[in-house]
Structure 1
Amino acid sequence: MKIHYIKEPRCMKCGKPVETMEQEYCQDCAKQKHIFDQGRGLWIQKQPVSRGIYQFKFHNKRYYASVFAEEMMKRYEEWIYRNEIEEIIPIPLYKAKQRKRGFNQALLIAKELSILSGIPVNENAVFRIRNTKPQKILNPMERSRNLKGAFGVKKTWEVKNKVLLIDDIYTTGSTMDRVAKVLKKAGTQKVYFLTISIGQGL
């Protein structure tokens, strides 16, 4: 089955589809002020995309990472370079969760994207301080509370002005906001993101 990219018009902030060209922001972004600066997702979070992500994360289909990274470059190469990204940072998993899964899916994509773009990836810039509940089972308010104090920035990290976060799914932006907050506190000026898929709101 052919998977189509998200078509315009889209939210100027997170990239979710919007109804008209005159509508600058989706309902989620219109309601809340995000800490990240801008982001994009390749596809809408529905079949067959959701099944592909599930296979990637839970059935050890690690080679999917190169496919996703190639699609990101195909779709967003101009956007990446226009934003003058200095470093690619994957959203970290909690250590116990990563040991159980065997890998961090965001890191695999980030490494492949780094090879294709020539932009360095740093898997040690941001770390997860504590384990959290799966975001998919929580409402927007619970998502934000769930991630409070969940991330930190390594003191040894050489601060970059413009960074690109990589994750598998964007829904409400809680994860991106929490990571953007600690990065900006450390001195980063602009935080962007790319994901495989993007939800349509809750």
Structure 2
Amino acid sequence: MLYPRRCPVCDGFLGGKEPLICRKCVAGLQLLEGPVCLRCGKPLERKDQEYCRDCGKKRHSYERGFAPFSYRGMIQESMMRFKYGGRAEYAKFYAAAVMAYGKRLLEYWSPDVMIPVPIHRERLLKRGYNQAEELAVRLSSMSGIPVERRAVLRIKNTKAQKELNDVERKKNLAQAFSIVKGYSPPRRILLVDDIYTTGSTIDTLALLLKKNGAQSVYFACVCVSPGDT
């Protein structure tokens, strides 16, 4: 049975000639432009800034990252459906957006492999898929960067990060991940996730990967939370 295609942004039905998103969303959707943080890619308030306040006062374990969208408005609602509403097919559009926005950075970083941020098996059973893995698989087919889905495990079913402050996030993620037995991380790694907020998850994974042999860890997400710029 064929189901009508839906726009990943507004969830409305797509016309036959509308490729990935509807005409209305094409007109209203905006990629991040102007000054962004040189570390995490969050939008900045002033052109003379190089880093957001968070990156200015915190030393991250990763090198750099980016995201094409700010986590608000239509995109925020869309990401909720993608993550919790069974809309795994949204990954095709969002991977294309990540690729179009970050192509030059990906070419410059030249990662050996991309690793999707893992979710705990209980959440995987509940959702039916890992949205980060769906993104990574499609991004891999577009970029040619191989994806490694069995590199890191989430061994602790942590609380939802969105409910916690920065200190609580770090405590929540303590010993949450483990390298799969026998896996040796390559030198340059790209982590893939849906939303970047404070960077606690990316930092935790980057530190773990570096302790096991990686030299440089970058990230690509769909959205960055505006947060404290």
- The TM-score bracket by the shorter chain reads over 0.9
Matched, 1:193 2:219: yes
Q: 2:107 aligned to 64, 70, 81, which one? A: 81
Q: Which residue of structure 2 aligns with residue 58 of structure 1?
A: 84
Aligned to 2:3: none
Tell me the distance in 1 between the aligned counterparts of 2:101 and 2:36.
14
Specify the SS of the correspondent of 2:124. Answer: helix
The answer to whether the aligner puts 1:115 opposite 2:141 as a matched pair is: yes
Give the match's secondary structure for 1:10: coil
> Match of 1:90?
116
4+ aligned runs moved over 2 Å, structure 1: 19-22
Q: Distance in 2 between matches of 1:8 and 1:86?
A: 29
Instruction: Tell me whether 1:142 sits opposite 2:168 in the alignment.
Output: yes
Residue 19 of structure 1 aligns with which residue? 45
> 3-state DSSP class of the match of 2:195?
strand
Give structure 1 stretches of 5+ with no counterpart: none
Contact 2:195–2:225 (CA under 8 A) maintained in structure 1? yes
Count of residues paired in the alignment = 202
TM-aligned CA deviation for residue 118 of structure 1 = 0.8
2:208 alignment counterpart: 182
Q: What's the RMSD between the two structures over aligned residues?
A: 1.0
Letter in 2 for 1:190: S
Following the alignment from structure 1 to structure 2, what is the Cα–Cα distance between the partners of residues 171 and 36?
14
Deviation at 1:170, TM superposition (A): 0.4
Alignment match, 1:169: 195
State the shift of 1:20 in Å.
2.5
1-side partners of 2:211 and 2:43: how far apart? 30
Q: Secondary structure in 2 aligned to 1:48?
A: helix
Cα distance, 1:21 vs. partner?
2.9
Aligned to 1:132: 158
Shift of 1:19: 2.2
Tell me which moved more, 96-105 or 157-166: 157-166
* SS of residue in 2 equivalent to 1:89: strand
Q: How far apart, CA to CA, are the structure 2 residues paired with 1:189 and 1:102? A: 33
Q: Normalising by structure 1, what TM-score?
A: 0.97
Gapped regions of structure 2 (runs ≥ 5): 1-24
Partner AA of 1:17 in structure 2: P
Deviations 1:102-124 (A, max 9, x none): 00000000000000011110011
Letter matched to residue 195 of structure 2: I
Letter in 2 for 1:151: F
Residue 69 in 1 paired to residue 95 in 2?
A: yes
Partner amino acid, structure 2, of 1:28: D
